A and B are shown apart, each in its own frame.
Chain A
């Protein structure tokens, strides 16, 4: 277990370029995500507020938590990998939002317009 690490010290600074792993940042991220997870579960399990308010709050908190994880755990920021991880992340986020929001929008209207209409009398 106590085998000396065979990493070449001359290379060690190159491994973490653009990534600063600090215990502090991991713990801060963990603390934030515990709070951001506990609140939605508490809201839904106690039923403290009406359904609409609760839904808006938990969806908002989910997006905040995704950003917290992205920054503190995935280390996406403007200088990691020359900013390219951030660019790829934003691109994927845009595509995901178009795909999800677009599907829901189209299928909702499709459903609404395919509902059986009330039978008009006399026809």
Chain B
């Protein structure tokens, strides 16, 4: 066919995009093809939600209304512990992906359970921190700073909670069907979701907690 010859010849018809390595057309319909990219674009729109919350926090972060300041209420050792937990949960999810690649179902399930437990510990410590703050009178209603703080950090915590729910659903699906192509695609989407939340947390611990205490 002359049309394929025309497309394949880079001199006649140069490509202005990066050709994908190891591009195989077959199997794309089974693996979703566009699903990974589509999910990625969802994550980018989610990133913009967090960007607006970060901007809100940035604008309101000094509006204490005579209430508590970050220096008085943030406990950095607790935040450091939470950061470490989330970071370790990233690598445990990474191990789940490696196990998936090697076709080891038991390994995938083991690492998913580890990731889910670490995520639950993260949410638990965050709720403990929120409980302490509220007991001290540092409630979301106290000042604009605290409203913005609770909105930003709790939105992240809510995302982590849904990630844990998703891990639970994946464990059920893996138990029922094993590592078939659809489950592998779902695991890859969940991987992006989980690692994305860790990226958001970098912004939270740097701009909210560390810079807050410095100020």
Question: Which A residues lie at the B interface, using CB under 8 A?
Answer: 1-8, 10-19, 21-23, 26-27, 29-30, 33-34, 37, 40-41, 44-45, 51, 54-55, 58-59, 61-62, 65-66, 69-70, 73-74, 78-79, 81-85, 88-89, 91-92, 95-96, 99-100, 102-104, 107
Contacts and interface: CB of A to CB of B under 8 A. Distances in A.
B90 interface: yes
Contact of B105 (A3, A55, A74, A79): A3
Given A78-B18, A85-B40, A99-B48, A104 B55 contact: yes
Given A14-B26, A85-B37, A26 B95 contact: yes
Interface stretch (B117-125, B134-142, B199-207): B199-207
A41 B80 contact: yes
Interface of B: 17-24, 26-28, 30-31, 36-37, 40-41, 44-45, 47-48, 51-52, 54-56, 58-59, 76-77, 80, 83-84, 87, 90-91, 94-95, 97-98, 101, 103-106, 109, 177-181, 184-185, 188, 192, 195-196, 198-199, 202-203, 205-207, 210-211, 213-215
Contacts of A15: 27, 31, 181, 184-185, 188
Contacts of B27: 10-11, 13-15
A21 B181 contact: no
B203 to A, nearest CB: 7
